[in-house]
Structure 1
Amino acid sequence: MSYDTLDIERRGAIATIWMDRPDVFNAFNEQLIAELDDACRALDTDAAVRVVVLGGRGRHFSAGADLHWMRRAADSSEQDNLADSRRFAAMLRRLANLSKPTIARVQGAALGGGTGLAAACDMAIAADDASFATSEARFGIIPAVISPYVLRAIGPRHALRYFQSAERFGAAEAKAIGLVGEVVALDQLDAAVGRLAQALLACGPQAQFAAKELIAAIGGRRIDDAVGEETATRIARQRATAEAREGFAAFFEKRPPAWTAT
């Protein structure tokens, strides 16, 4: 895969998508959105890839929307803005629904849509210099397209504050409210991402995808007979897979499971 705004780095079964516009702090425009959507599609169907990391080259993860893109949007019609927003929404949905684990590797600024990108990944690790904001209200707009992912990460109470105040907050606050799972020194960021990626590679890939589907299906629902039946059905179905049989066999035979060889 060859892109103008991205760099794809592969190390074994781990693929890192680097947003590669450091001169504009990896701010995104129409091209980066389209290329990120295409990269996610390609990596999702690549059986050799088990874990996808999203990062930004240079000092910052992503400063959000490119200023030229924002200026064009301000001068565009509602219909043109709708088409633009639909493309952005489709890219975020593809990233969030990837069939393999995704990790956001965040340093420096992750503002506006940059916060949305971090939230759309399954998990996020931030350097201690990272800062976040849903800054749209400062421009008289709302963080609508990123809202499902940010709400999923931080919940409605924190979203009510940050969607309306547009305050910038640091890595420690991001961890406290659930936006990132771990904060480390900047020079330890790659090592921390690597450790998490290795932990993910030790687990069954089909089980990981089934776990993502389980969370999507069960999250937020009332615990009743229907939920009990659905969870019972899902574990029974998973136990019957070849991957589960291999996992149990490897455990009892005290050997690594087959998927760790990939």
Structure 2
Amino acid sequence: MTNPHVSFNIKNKVGYIEFFHPNHNAMPSDVLQKLEQTIVDAETSEAKVLVLQSGGDRTFCAGASFNELIVIDNEATGKAFFLGFANVINAMRKSSKLIIGRVQGKAVGGGVGLAAATDYCLATKYASIKLSELSIGIGPFVIEPAVTRKIGVSNMSQMTLNAEKFYTAEWAKNNGLFAEVCETTEALDESVTTLAEKLASYNPEALQEMKKVLWENTEDWDDLLDKRAEISGKLVLSDFTKETLRWFQ
């Protein structure tokens, strides 16, 4: 695979949503928009349960595309970029279908947010996580509600402030982000398929009601994440952030 894509395939009543970008699955705006729309469109599909996964056998998601971040030159464009992750998280939240996460490798920044927005997340032992945003001059403002909802304020602050440290998959499991950690990608795929197909065989009305319960008290997230995207959109224009991003080019 060399070309960015978002795909949707259904097998045994399970809808598999896959995103891919050759740059370690870092997410530019167009891929985020396609991912959001695919999640929305899956609502009317025959799939009973969804699986969110990325292509490739290494990094799950490296977060925001630095190549796109560095050329942002005004607050409106900055906010629009960060709304990409906000819109995907809100699409996952609003979906009536349970979403299982398949995390085969490292997740950074927005990638951690995507994992946190799933309803049940499985990973391999190689799926270490990091919130590096403060180290480049911004912060994990958009994804914070989803991450805090899973791992709590204390762990969220620990990851945010220790912004250059990778936390192990076992740490993520022990603190509520991952439900299961598998030894290999093959074992991960087997566990994901088994769980997804089992859930797809359950009463669909019960699944939908459970989804509502899992996301209670998040009704304000449309406004909340919009405001958070505005904060990030301003910070990405700072001299500190621009200079730091140049080191990654």
TM-score by length of 2: 0.81
Taking the aligned partners of 1:162 and 1:72, their CA distance within structure 2 comes to: 27
Q: Give the aligned CA root-mean-square deviation in angstroms.
A: 1.7
- 2:192 is the counterpart of 1:189: no
Question: Going by fraction, where is helix more abundant, 1 or 2?
Answer: 1
Q: Number of residue pairs matched?
A: 213
Corresponding position of 2:122: 125
- Is there any run of 5+ residues in structure 1 with no aligned partner, and where? 220-262
1:31-110 equivalences under 5 Å are: 31-46=30-45, 48-58=46-56, 59-73=58-72, 76-110=73-107
Q: Report SS of the residue matched to 2:116.
A: helix
Corresponding position of 2:13: 13
Superposed CA deviations along residues 161-188 of structure 1, whole A, max 9, x for unmatched, are 1111122111100101101100011220
Residues 50 and 212 from structure 1, CA distance in 2 versus in 1: closer, same or farther, beyond 3 angstroms?
A: same
Whether contact under 8 Å (2:93, 2:215) holds in the other structure is no
Identify the match of residue 171 of structure 2 among 170, 173, 183. 173
- 2:143 is the counterpart of 1:146: yes
Taking the aligned partners of 2:137 and 2:32, their CA distance within structure 1 comes to: 22
Taking the aligned partners of 1:218 and 1:112, their CA distance within structure 2 comes to: 24
Higher RCO (CA < 8 A, seq sep 6+): 2
Query: How far 1:52 sits from its partner (Å)?
Result: 0.8
Query: How far 1:70 sits from its partner (Å)?
Result: 2.0
Whether contact under 8 Å (1:5, 1:31) holds in the other structure is no
Superposed CA deviations along residues 187-206 of structure 1, whole A, max 9, x for unmatched, are 20100101211221232111
Which letter does structure 1 place at the counterpart of 2:172?
Answer: A
Q: Return 28-37 or 164-173, whichever deviates more.
A: 164-173
Taking the aligned partners of 2:141 and 2:122, their CA distance within structure 1 comes to: 24
Identity %: 31
Taking the aligned partners of 1:216 and 1:8, their CA distance within structure 2 comes to: 24
Taking the aligned partners of 2:106 and 2:128, their CA distance within structure 1 comes to: 5
